[in-house]
Chains A and B, each alone.
Chain A
Amino acid sequence: MNQDITEMTAAELSRALHRRELSSSDAAAAYLGRMTQTESTIHAYITPTARRALEAASAADEMLKNSGAPALCGIPYAAKDNLAVEGVRMTCASKMLADFVPDYTAAVVERADSAGCVLLGKTNMDEFAMGSSTERSIAGPTHNPLDPACSAGGSSGGSAAAVAAREAVWAIGSDTGGSARQPASFCGLVSLKPTYGLVSRRGMTELASSLDCVCPITRDVTDCALAMNLLAGRDPGDMTTFDSDEDYTLALTGGVSGMTFGIPRPEMLDECESSVRRAMNRAARILETLGARVTEVDLPLEMALEIYMVVAAAEASSNLARFDGLRYGLTAEGATAADRMRATRSAGFGDEVKRRILTGAYALSSTYGGGYYRKIKAAQATVCRETDTALDTVDAVLLPTASGVAFRLGSYADNPTALYRSDCFTTVANLTGIPALQIPGGGDGHLPVGLSLMGKKRAEKTLFRAAFALESEMKPFVGKEVGRDAVGYAKPC
Chain B
Amino acid sequence: MPSDMRSLAERYEAVIGLEVHVELKTGRKIFCSCRARFGDTPNSCVCPTCLGMPGALPVLSDEAVALAVKAGLALGCRINRRSWFDRKNYYYPDLPKGYQITQLERPVCEGGAVPIETSAGKRSIPLIRIHMEEDAAKLIHRGAETLVDYNRAGVPLIEIVSEPAMRTPEEAKAYLNSLRRILSYMGVSDCRMNEGSLRCDVNISVRRRGDTDLGIKCEIKNVNSVNYVGRALEEEILRQTALLEAGEEIRPETRRFNEDTGKTEKMRDKEGAVDYRYFTEPNLPPIVLTDEWMDAVARSMPPMPDEAAHALTSEFGVKPDNAVLLTASVRLTDYFTRCARATSYPAVCESLFVGEVLERLDRDDPAEYISPDALASICALMGEGRIVSGQAKRLVHLAAESGEDPEVIAGRESMLKISDEETLAPLVEAAIAASEKAAADYRRGKVAAIRQILGTLMRASGGRADPIVAERMLAERLNNGK
Contacts and interface: CB of A to CB of B under 8 A. Distances in A.
Interface of A: 82-84, 90, 92, 97, 100, 102-104, 106, 201-206, 208-210, 236-240, 314-315, 317-318, 320-324, 326-328, 337-338, 341, 361, 364-367, 373, 377
Given A209-B283, A321-B97, A321-B98, A238 B277 contact: no
B53 interface: yes
A97 B54 contact: yes
Nearest to B283: A209
Given A90-B54, A338-B91, A366-B275, A318 B59 contact: no
A209 B283 CA distance: 6
B215 interface: no
Given A239-B283, A337-B146, A365-B277, A322 B59 contact: no
Given A321-B98, A324-B93, A327-B52, 19 more contacts: A84-B54, A100-B54, A202-B57, A203-B55, A205-B54, A208-B282, A210-B282, A237-B59, A238-B59, A239-B285, A322-B98, A323-B54, A326-B93, A327-B51, A327-B96, A337-B92, A341-B91, A366-B278, A367-B275
Contacts of A327: 51-53, 96
A102 B48 contact: yes
16 contacts: A82-B55, A104-B48, A201-B57, A205-B54, A238-B57, A239-B284, A239-B285, A317-B277, A318-B99, A322-B54, A322-B96, A327-B96, A337-B146, A364-B89, A364-B278, A367-B275
B199 interface: no
B282 A209 contact: yes
B248 to A, nearest CB: 29
A328 B89 CA distance: 20
B125 interface: no
Contacts of A323: 54
Interface string B362-401: 0000000000000000000000000000000000000000
B354 interface: no
Contact of A206 (B55, B92, B279, B280): B55
B87 interface: yes
B230 interface: no
B58 interface: yes
B60 A204 contact: no
Of the candidates A97, A103, A203, the one having the most CB atoms from chain B within 10 angstroms of its own CB is: A203
Contacts of A102: 48, 53-55
Of the candidates B51, B52, B59, B282, the one having the most CB atoms from chain A within 10 angstroms of its own CB is: B282
A337 B93 CA distance: 7
A72 B52 CA distance: 33
B9 interface: no
A324 B98 contact: yes
Interface in B116-172: 146, 148
Contact of A84 (B55, B87, B279, B283): B55
Contacts of B87: 318
A395 B97 CA distance: 41
B267 interface: no
Interface string B45-75: 0001001111111111000000000000000
A348 to B, nearest CB: 13
Given A318-B98, A318-B99, A237 B57 contact: yes
Contacts of B48: 102-104
A315 B277 CA distance: 10
Contacts of B58: 239
B279 A204 contact: no
A406 to B, nearest CB: 29
Of the candidates B54, B277, B280, the one having the most CB atoms from chain A within 10 angstroms of its own CB is: B54
Nearest to A236: B59
Interface in B252-279: 275, 277-279
Contacts of B56: 104, 202-203
Nearest to B47: A104
B55 A106 contact: yes
The 6 closest A-B pairs by CB, nearest first: A321-B98, A210-B282, A364-B277, A209-B282, A205-B54, A322-B52
A326 B148 contact: yes
Contacts of A104: 48, 53, 55-56
Contact of B60 (A83, A201, A239, A314): A239
Nearest to A206: B55
Interface in B89-123: 89, 91-93, 96-99
A236 B280 CA distance: 21
B53 A240 contact: no
A171 B97 CA distance: 29
Of the candidates B55, B59, B89, B279, the one having the most CB atoms from chain A within 10 angstroms of its own CB is: B55
A206 B54 contact: yes
A366 B277 contact: yes
Contacts of B283: 206, 209, 238-240
Given A321-B97, A322-B98, A364 B55 contact: no
Nearest to B51: A327
A238 B283 CA distance: 8
Nearest to B31: A239
A84 B53 CA distance: 10
Nearest to A368: B275
Contacts of B146: 337
A179 B277 CA distance: 27
A201 B283 CA distance: 10
Nearest to B92: A337
Contacts of B285: 239-240
B405 to A, nearest CB: 52
A349 to B, nearest CB: 13
B53 A314 contact: no
Contacts of A100: 54
Given A237-B59, A239-B59, A364-B89, A318 B54 contact: no
Contact of A239 (B51, B57, B89, B97): B57
Contacts of B275: 365-367
B151 to A, nearest CB: 14
A83 B54 CA distance: 9
Contacts of A321: 89, 91, 97-99
Given A90-B54, A104-B48, A367-B275, A324 B59 contact: no
Interface in B266-312: 275, 277-280, 282-285
A361 B87 CA distance: 13
A321 B51 CA distance: 13
Contacts of A240: 282-285
Contacts of A201: 55, 57
B354 to A, nearest CB: 47
Contacts of A364: 89, 277-279
A334 to B, nearest CB: 12
A201 B57 CA distance: 8
B55 A318 contact: no
A4 B99 CA distance: 51
Nearest to A90: B54
B279 A314 contact: yes
A398 B147 CA distance: 56
A259 B116 CA distance: 69
Contacts of A84: 53-55
Contacts of A97: 54
A202 to B, nearest CB: 5
A52 B275 CA distance: 46
B469 to A, nearest CB: 73
Contacts of A103: 48
Nearest to A100: B54
Contacts of B277: 317-318, 361, 364-366
A79 to B, nearest CB: 12
Contacts of B52: 322, 327
Nearest to A342: B91
B60 to A, nearest CB: 7
A239 B65 CA distance: 15
Contacts of A328: 51, 53
A106 B55 CA distance: 8
B98 A315 contact: no
B407 to A, nearest CB: 57
